[in-house]
Structure 1
């Protein structure tokens, strides 16, 4: 089984997260997928930002203290200077600048109808996208509006999924997820095997050390997400070499 290496917000260890530079660097090092975050502006435009505000990724004081990004128009969002040296990247700009498969995380459930309209108009972009979210109802809504696009439910730990009615199986049924992304905490081989038996891919995160890669491979996970995908790819080759030498 191949372990996919996913660039977290591009290659954010070496370039500003959710920037065109970060996505380009991730593609340059050969990631299998890029994970990024989508939000909706006050005037209904789709753009890429992890946080609810611009404060953490601001490049100068003018970008701080503006309040929720959802309450700003796209013109306002693009006028500020982030740590990338420019304003936010739009969803369309990202797709035009990349060729890699995209994990598109829905940060705000209100984004879902706008995404459905976007992908209806851009089927090629839809064809290289999986929608992800920590919000079960957002993914359920996405399944209803965009049934042909894959879905991934994200949880911090397996215990979070087990708290859903019906446990992790109930969560999968509710979201109609085709992929399950889970933190390493309390994730077991039996659960990974059960998910695979259902035809559900398993991604584990975060990938911060060679031991994380080793654990992902041991579990038989399908992918892992790293801030430094080039390093993660190097670790993967190390781990696979260890397994070959031991066999």
Structure 2
């Protein structure tokens, strides 16, 4: 098995009907329009709190522009992707049920430099990028002491496989990747209760604890009644 599909952990969990299922976390060489890309676009974008508040999935123009942005990231930003898949005996990937994407960053990197040559016409994408820049400000303030680090660009578990410990395993492996690549820190914005709890369970610390009210004021977005009370920028180190 090549480094591009390195297996990090194997574990067993139970589905909602009580049946056991074997799963594994492995690296994935992310490509435009592959199975992981499709999961991000079909599930992560409509459900993640900030993307949802910006209305990306409700606007065909914004949805297409976001797809183009994701494709652009493959060309300019070093991305490290891990997936959770059903662990079959052949080690082939038949069914992906969770994923996590991180970008290797330097503390001098800026989002505006990455998207500088792209034009986004939809109001929804402009709102999303403004929100991303606001959150980047919180990150830069706290992470400036790390020359390089991994920044989470999304973590997702398929709805049918939630509450099975998959988010916990994905969070656990993020630190193993840091250790394996000698990157001192990994961090991510956590906008869901499940990922916040998984991070806490794995002893992640909190850079910034941002109330939804503050986030609405700073970004101009409006979060629904189902939004969590706080957005957390959380991190862990290799030491």
After TM superposition, is the score higher than 0.5? no
TM-score (norm 2): 0.29
Structure (1 or 2) with the greater strand fraction:
2
Give the structure with higher Rg (CA): 1
